[in-house]
Structure 1
Amino acid sequence: MRPPIVRTLAQALVLGAAAAVLPLASPAPAAADSVVIGGRPVRVADSPWTVALASRDRFGGTRSGQFCGGVVIARSTVLTAAHCMREEVLGVPLGRVRDLKVISGRDDLATNTGNEISVRRVRINPEYDAYTNAGDFAVLTLSEALPEAYTIRTAGAGDAAYEPGTGAAVYGWGDTTGGGDYARTLHAADVTVLADKVCEEAYPGSADGTYTSASMVCAGELKGGRDACQGDSGGPLVAQGRLIGLVSWGDGCGQAGSPGVYTRISDVVRVMSRYA
């Protein structure tokens, strides 16, 4: 999977190892390269809240400059991973990225369908810890509002969607094999919400990150095979029709014993309420 998964190519390059634990984002100045492992093609029309983050200036025109994913929670508000906004991913400080956009309604990144909307404001979680990966989220404010139908409900604390054993799906345009085979079209992989102890044992604490149940969600398959990967960072983890997580980090992609770690949405809601 990836360390704070910006699960991007950029980070994979920075760390010098595709299988390293790192955020699932993409390295600059190349385009983000990871896709959902063990997934299937899906239509954006069926999950319109799934959007791509793009910058042609930083990642080129291939795949519309996509480097991370995002999810629409309000008509002008998109959530993504905080690590997607870091210089390690973008190649330059965020303030020097002049064409940061959110792409909605586009299945195939090689086309010009859907809409490209400029990002008016970026707010990185002030409680984000790049060492442990806790609080890995950023809030993007769009310059234009999307239709209400593009938004997804968020799951608050105590929601049954977080229960271990719950079926979920992760969405993205990232690496589909773990070998740099980046998807042009949106993919989704069916995963299972796992008990916190599974990720606590897999990620007890190191330079790669520390699993903390208060701000993270553990999901995947114990035997491996289905997972998010490079390029999927910031994308949605959905269960029972509600947003429960954002692709954040992990060790490799789809490896047995190394499930994916997602930013817990109930914690995102808590933090946003404090800084509203």
Structure 2
Amino acid sequence: MMKRYITMFALLVAVSFTAPHAEAKKFGGSKSLGKSYNTAPAQKQQPQQTDTISKQNPTASAGKKGLMGGLLGGLLAGGLLAAFFGGAFEGIQFMDILIFGLIAFLIFKFLKGMRKAKPTAMGHQQAYAGDSPQAQGAYRQQADAFTGAATAQPEYRATDSDVPFNLPPGFDMNAFLQGAREHYRTLQGAWNFNELETIREYVSPALFDDLKAERSKLDGEQHTEVMYVDAELVRADYDANTAHLSVKFTGRYKDSHEGVEEDISDIWHLERDLMTPNAPWLIVGIQA
């Protein structure tokens, strides 16, 4: 009897820990590096039109999935208990081992299914519309957005009164965020292939040293792909010498070899030297 319990427990533990994690393979190693600031979402000071197209019943598919998952779990549990207490496992024969293996496989598939990405919402499709051929021309016109642009913007303020939201003069927020999404993908690709010189162009010298040390902990090429990513400005301030911005990225990425998916939830803190003409924005901190 004790032997059966030990075998069952070992199988469950093995299945629970077989799912690898891709977090360390994401740009920055999913660690907080460099400078950090308090941040908060921003909102316009005037009313905005809201989009109601995608306000379908978001719980419908989730409810079905949950129902199927509950039924599957119940059937598995019921069948296992019936077989266990009915004496089917008594003596641990070859067929018992096959049954244990089948149970372990089903549990693994169930856990893997729970980790799958949620259906992509319309907002996520729009978030990287610049990747489509129709939008490439528009994106090329915005390619210098990461260095700033001279377009008037509505007044914004942070939802947290302790977080500043003072945009630098002539700053084009929408173009900047469009460029930021593309730069997120670019840096993830450079991280995958250990292209340190590419990374150096986007970050401050101090942060580069930290990133170089983190990347050295990974062997060879990595296979982390950004599935979709959106960007939101969560802090902005400037003085006579330097402008500061914080951008929050949300989305989903996966390891294409291991089939593991994780959420994106990173904040990049950037600075720009206002005393130098056409100075680039440099990432000075990553907050995971």
TM-score (norm 2): 0.25
Which structure's residues are more often strand, by fraction?
Answer: 1
Which structure's residues are more often helix, by fraction?
Answer: 2
TM-score (norm 1): 0.26
